Structure 1
Amino acid sequence: MIEWSPTKIAAFQKTLLNWYDHNKRDLPWRHGHDPYHVWISEIMLQQTQVQTVIPYYQRFMKKFPTVQALAVADESDLMKAWEGLGYYSRARNLQKAARQLVEDYDGQWPTTAKELQNLSGIGPYTAGAIASIAFNQPVPAVDGNAFRVFSRLLEIDADIAKPQSRRIFEKAIQPLMPKDRPGDFNQAIMDLGTSYMSATNYDSEHSPVKAFNQAYLDGVEDHYPVKTKKKRPVPVKYFGLISRSEKGFLFEKRPSNGILSGFWMFPLIKADELPVKPAASEKTVLATLEKQFLETYQLPIHVKKLAGQPVSHTFTHQKWQIILLETTLSSQVDLSFFPGKWIPEAEFSDVAFTKVQSKMWARYQAETRY
């Protein structure tokens, strides 16, 4: 890892901030230094592109303009506002943190990165972003952009896939931060990491910090950042049950923990939990599913497999393959033993659809011309 002299650090700060002053992105959450605005934007930007986030952020701010409004929001309204962004635990943690701020901090924000991490869902990066941008604290905000930029500038060989590497980067970046403009410094790194120093198609030759990019000067930029490959998501097979009646479609409320917890969705049955042998025929598997549904929920169903390929959706650690089945039930059936309800199609717009649910519904419409 390269270390810079005080003179070089000062030159880097000046070069970077001059470039930022003239070229920074005009983003709605940058129109001020409100910690609430910084917080919401940073949580939304996790795993999500800036252009996708902008309209979500603007709608979210209209609906929940303050921490207090978010703290008392109905969860269904919150999930609907978050619909399509994915990683829904982020939204739930936002509300938990908002309630912490109102109940435990009397609505006043902690001003240091260490204190901010006491709030639900706020980790080192988000705490650094809020503390530096909203409260002018000279702390790094180390995300994917910072890993990429500083690994190239300083030729840091630490594997960014390992959690302990964050501390190495924070220690390396801290001396480079200007005490008077830490928030702008962190945001400049964000902008640099999405433009001249992006993951692919980077343009170091025209980068404003070319002279400081040691990996570029040494001709080894494609070696940085060092990152071991993630394990491939584990395939998981499900059957998705789409059942209609005069009252609408049968939805099941997902368990309160696990993937997509608490959402209303078409019922999903994990294939490997059915009591059949691996080599069982499809006819046997579906008959077993019908029997189990009857025994568990007291619902007599006769399923028919829809045409087309399974619905596919990839999460961080799992890849779901959902075989769609359809059935028709009387609206008079007893749902006392079933964790769900009938939802008319006219009310779908009021229900927060996950991407998986949207894919299932779109495939059903396409295959049945419903």
Structure 2
Amino acid sequence: MSPDGECDESPESERIPDRNRMTRLRRNLSRWYAAHGRELPWRATHDPYRIWISEIMLQQTTVAAVIPYFERFLEQFPTVEVLAAADENEVLRMWEGLGYYSRARNIHRTARQLVAERKGTFPHDAVELQRLPGIGRYTAGAIASFAFDERAPIVEANTLRLYSRLLGYDGDPRSSEGQKLLWRFAEAVLPKANPGRFNQALMELGSTVCTPAAPDCPSCPLRTVCRAFAENRQEEIPRPKPRPKITPVVEASIAVRRGDTYLLRQRRAEERWAGLWDFPRFELGEDQPGHLDRSDEALVPVLHQNLQGPLKELTGIAAEVTAVVTELRHSVTRYRIRLICLEAEYRSGDPTNGDETQQWCRPEDFEELAFSVTGRKLARLLVRRENSGS
């Protein structure tokens, strides 16, 4: 496939629009974007640092959720040099609530690498950008095209859906065959002039018009070149991802109190939410009827008995479970978690002996640390209780 949209002789090339349809596609989309493109904080710049932060934040996260995080993050870390010099806990604290915390750790690593090896400058080339931690093919293409106007293709959630419908591709768009076709189209559709702006237009159309359910086809500037629309198959294409089987589990989080402090531990690299602070936490098993469905009063002695060994092994201390503070429900990937939050009184042991990943912390100092979302909820509940004197 040539950059101008001419077909080659490979089988999937039959799906690529011909030169005339490609020209109409580019013209109609460019006009539509000029009239309907949203003003977003990362679009009013060609600064690769700001574009990079926005693209990493937007992975698995909606635009509406990202905007306040983006603004706060850039206020705290206005340049790649400032980010590189920051402590990891500070970076994670500013990321808290966005989830997928490996993204935050990778941007910190990348910032340090850019400062150490390139004096804080970003490569212009998408291939070079992919050598940086946490930057895959899509993100590299986005930075290269948005910041440097390089003719770099992009395929992400919104454009994957848009391209599949435009091409009428009803196979699995995430398969090797599907990815090959969509990336070829993403490269072929780009104009020679202003490819960065055109990529933005493709993403905008996918996000606001060519939506997963009930796409607004009557308002779409590309409906005359869309195979799925012509065949009335826009609700069927693209083929949906198989839904993972949801596994219910029960976990316990223990707020161990010693005087006016609580024991916190930093989660290890092999654990969920690595690098974040939390109260000692344990998996109890599947969420099913039985001894875990008792009243709070009856549940305390059962959990006290069950958790003594795990607590000692994990933290090096012994404590007496005294109360159920609350229960939290949340989901992580394919797990639906019932989290029983407990309070306990310290009895013996020294968790801080040579271990910097555990510390006793006063409630008024909780805000200085980066917590998991559920850890933060429990921490704030404890602070409220302290302040109310209960």
* TM-score normalised per structure 2: 0.85
2:343 counterpart of 1:326: yes
Deviation for aligned residue 1:363: 6.3
1:146 aligns with 2:163: no
- Residue 351 of structure 1 is matched in structure 2 by 369
Paired position in structure 2 for 1:260: 273
Q: Which region of structure 1 is more displaced relative to structure 2, 159-168 or 248-257?
A: 159-168
Give the alignment of 1:191-210 within 5 angstroms: 191-210=204-223
Q: Does 1:335 align with 2:348?
A: no
Residues 353/294 of structure 1: CA separation in 2 closer, same or farther (3 Å cut): closer
CA distance 1:8–1:180, shift in 2 (3 Å): same
Match of 2:311 among 289, 293, 297: 293
CA distance in 2, matches of 1:296, 1:155: 54
- What is the Cα deviation at residue 299 of structure 1? 2.6
Q: Is the 8 A contact 2:89 2:276 kept in 1?
A: no
Q: Secondary structure at the match of 2:264?
A: strand
Question: Does the C-alpha gap of structure 1 residues 25 and 301 become closer, same or farther in structure 2, counting only changes over 3 Å?
Answer: same
Letter in 2 for 1:41: S
Structure 2 segments unaligned to the other structure (5+ residues): 1-13, 293-298
Instruction: For 1:66-85, list aligned pairs within 5 A.
Output: 66-85=79-98
The residue matched to 2:112 in structure 1 has which SS? helix
User: Matched residue of 2:319: which SS?
Assistant: coil
Residue 177 of structure 1: how far off its partner (Å)? 1.0
CA–CA distance in structure 1, aligned partners of residues 303 and 258 of structure 2: 24
Tell me how far 1:119 sits from its aligned partner.
0.5
SS in 1 for 2:110: helix
Aligned length: 364
CA distance 1:344–1:366, change in 2 (3 Å)? closer
Distance 1:305 1:93, change over 3 A: same
After TM superposition, give the deviation of residue 184 of structure 1 in Å.
1.1
Query: Which amino acid in the other structure matches residue 179 of structure 1?
Result: K
1:16 and 1:296, CA in 2 relative to 1: closer, same or farther beyond 3 A? closer
Letter in 1 for 2:333: T
Report the residue type matching 2:229 in the other structure.
Y
Instruction: Give, in whole Å, the separation in 2 of the partners of 1:193 and 1:298.
Output: 52
Aligned position for 2:120: 107
Shift of 1:14: 0.8
How far off its partner does 1:297 sit? 4.5
Offset, 1:326: 1.4
C-alpha RMSD of matched pairs (Å)? 2.7
What TM-score, normalized to structure 1?
0.89
**In structure 2, C-alpha distance between the alignment counterparts of 1:4 and 1:291, rounded to whole Å:** 65
CA contact (8 A) 2:363 2:379 kept: no
Task: Provide closer, same or farther for how the CA distance between residues 336 and 196 of structure 1 changes in structure 2, counting only shifts above 3 A.
Answer: closer
The range that moved more, 313-322 or 81-90, is 313-322
CA contact (8 A) 1:137 1:182 kept: yes
Name which of structure 1's ranges 116-125 and 167-176 shifts more when overlaid on structure 2: 167-176
Q: What does residue 312 of structure 1 align with?
A: 329
- 1:335 and 1:105 mapped to 2: Cα distance? 41
